[in-house]
Amino acid sequence: AKENGKNQMEIYSSDINSMTIERFTMENELRKAIERNEFELHYQPQFQLENNRTLGIEALLRWHSPCRGLVSPLDFIPLAEETGLIIPIGNWVLKEACRQNKEWIDLGLPPIIVSVNISARQLQQKNFVDIVKSILEESDLPPSYLCLEITESTAIKNVEISMDMLRELGELGVNISIDDFGIGYSSLAMLKQLPISNVKIDKSFIHDMDMDKDDAAIVRAIIAMAHSLELTVTAEGVETEEQKDILTSEKCNFVQGYLYSKPLTAKECYEYIQSITIK
């Protein structure tokens, strides 16, 4: 038994070793990914139910790693957050989303709002407002065509820092949306202290809504409460007609999901916006 225990220890520590090496390797690759142009943004349309039109798009980060292939953000954003690399990466995302949106407006497409995911680490920078301001100036995008998606947990954990910062961003004319709402157990009343205009219901609630009465009840309650606080609501991960029908009858404002469109490359998105304009 003793020997066995020793073996397990050895296996255990070599696992830790290879995990450390793997993380270190990925960190180094991520460090070089910006200058090597390995990042790309995809854009997923956000559809307004009331008058059947696309009002916005969410920018979603993609990493084309030369050795790993296409890496999901779920597999590298956590490491980027821990190592602080999310700061330069997040700045690149903001710049690229604003630059791209302005280019489409200049090409004559009807202006839409681009939403960008913001990590806690980014919001904790004292000069975050100045960063956003200078990116908006550099790209010449009107602030009202930018929305920042901040997760419920980030907003609540940082309520004190967030408050002033979000207020300043709001005064600039930037839209603020609370992302992944419903999984953090915070109350909307608390979030309402922040200068936000929209909440996004997490896709885990939408997913089971047509089969699970509890999830449907939660979605209904969130929509009703948000509306009573004069917030608009987006449902993410909408995949079926049944989900769409429930959300329509509950007067959910915006929907996003595979039922409408998967995330598109910039070129596909340009063609998408163009095609809905002609209709």
Comparison of 95 and 220: residue with beta carbon closer to ligand C2E? 95
| Among residues 26, 61, 174, 219, the one that binds ligand C2E under rule CB under 6 A | 61
Cβ proximity to ligand C2E, 136 vs 150, nearer residue: 150
Nearer to Ca ion, 29 or 128 (CB): 128
Beta strands in 9-161 (DSSP E): 39-48, 53-65, 69-71, 113-118, 146-151
DSSP secondary structure string, 120-157?
HHHHTSTTHHHHHHHHHHHHT--GGGEEEEEEHHHHHH
Phi-psi sector, 257: left (phi>0), alpha (psi -120 to 50), beta = left
Min dist. Cβ of residue 67 to ligand C2E (A): 20
The reply to whether 56 sits near ligand C2E by the rule CB under 6 A is no
With contact defined as beta carbons under 8 Å apart, do 85 and 30 qualify? yes
Out of 40, 53, 73, 184, which residue is the one contacting ligand C2E (CB under 6 A)? 73
Q: Cα(186)–Cα(204) distance, rounded to whole angstroms? A: 16
Residues linked to residue 19 through DSSP beta bridges, in sequence order = none
Minimum CB distance to ligand C2E, residue 274 (Å):
22
Binding residues (CB under 5 A) for Ca ion: these are 117, 149, 179-180, 202, 208, 212, 215
Residue 62 beta carbon to ligand C2E: minimum distance, rounded to whole angstroms: 8
Residue showing tokens 């995809």? 42
Binding mask 223-252 for ligand C2E (x = CB under 6 A): -------------xxxx-------------
Query: Per CB under 6 A, which of residues 176..215 are in contact with ligand C2E?
Result: 179-180, 203
Q: Is 135 in the site for ligand C2E (CB under 6 A)?
A: no
112-151 core/surface letters (b: 16 or more CB in 10 A; e: else): bbbbbbbbbbbbeeeebbebbbebbeebebebebbbbbbb
Q: 26, 12, 41, 31: which is closest to 76 by C-alpha?
A: 26
As measured in angstroms, the least distance from the Cβ of 206 to Ca ion is: 10
Q: Is 263 in the site for ligand C2E (CB under 6 A)?
A: yes
Q: Which among Ca ion, ligand C2E, none contacts residue 237 (Cβ within 5 to 8 A by kind)?
A: ligand C2E
DSSP state of 259: T
**Which position among 8, 28, 72, 134 is part of the footprint of ligand C2E (CB under 6 A)?**
72
Q: How many CB atoms lie within 10 A of CB 67?
A: 6
Cβ neighbours for 172, distance < 8 A, ≥ 6 positions apart:
129, 132, 133, 136, 143
| Minimal distance, residue 10 CB to ligand C2E, in Å | 36
**Binding stretches for ligand C2E (CB under 6 A):** 44, 60-61, 72-74, 77, 90, 93, 117, 119, 179-180, 203, 236-239, 257-258, 263
